[in-house]
Amino acid sequence: MVKNIKYIAIAVVLFVIAIIAFSFFEDPSPEKQIEKQVEKFLSNASKSSGDKLTTGLLKSKSLESLFAPRCKFYVGVSSFSGTYTPLQISANAMRCRSMFKRIKFSAHDIQINLMSPSTAAVDFTGSLSGLSKRGKSIETYKELTCNLQLIEGKWLIYAVSVREIIKK
């Protein structure tokens, strides 16, 4: 009887280990992959008060891996709208980060729409809060859309736009 309980306990432990191992090797769904890309984008664009120059360089450089070779930005400000390479996006992010002591980008109400097996649109409310080097606080919210394309097995952002919200 005691041997049977030991075998049952060992079987249960092995079963739990197998489930955990399977979850590590299971491919995440396209929606999870896309959500992770958007979160990386926002995280790497953010800057905390303690970030050093090297941290900023690493974050800006890692932004390059999130974008398609040509990415269109439609942000309502003509000086920022246009088509950019990942290197240009990284340089612009570094320039933007240098104007702030801290800046945090985050996404809320993320809605992912798979338009085809290799394209998707992500709609979300983006928030930006920060403190400029001159001491001015910034807090704003915008409705955004990111379009992604599956390129060589990776979801890359190829367009970012601010959606116009009609106010009464």
pLDDT at 98 over 70: yes
Please write down the HEC assignment for all residues of 40-103. HHHHHHCECCCCCHHHHHHHHHHHHHHEEEEEEEECCCCCCCEEECHHHHHHHHHHHHHCEEEE
pLDDT per residue as tens digits for the range 103-159: 898 898 999 999 999 999 999 998 889 999 899 998 988 899 999 999 998 999 999
Q: Where are the domains positioned within the chain?
A: 29-163
* pLDDT at 75 (0 to 100): 80
CATH 3.10.450.50 fits 29-163, yes or no: yes
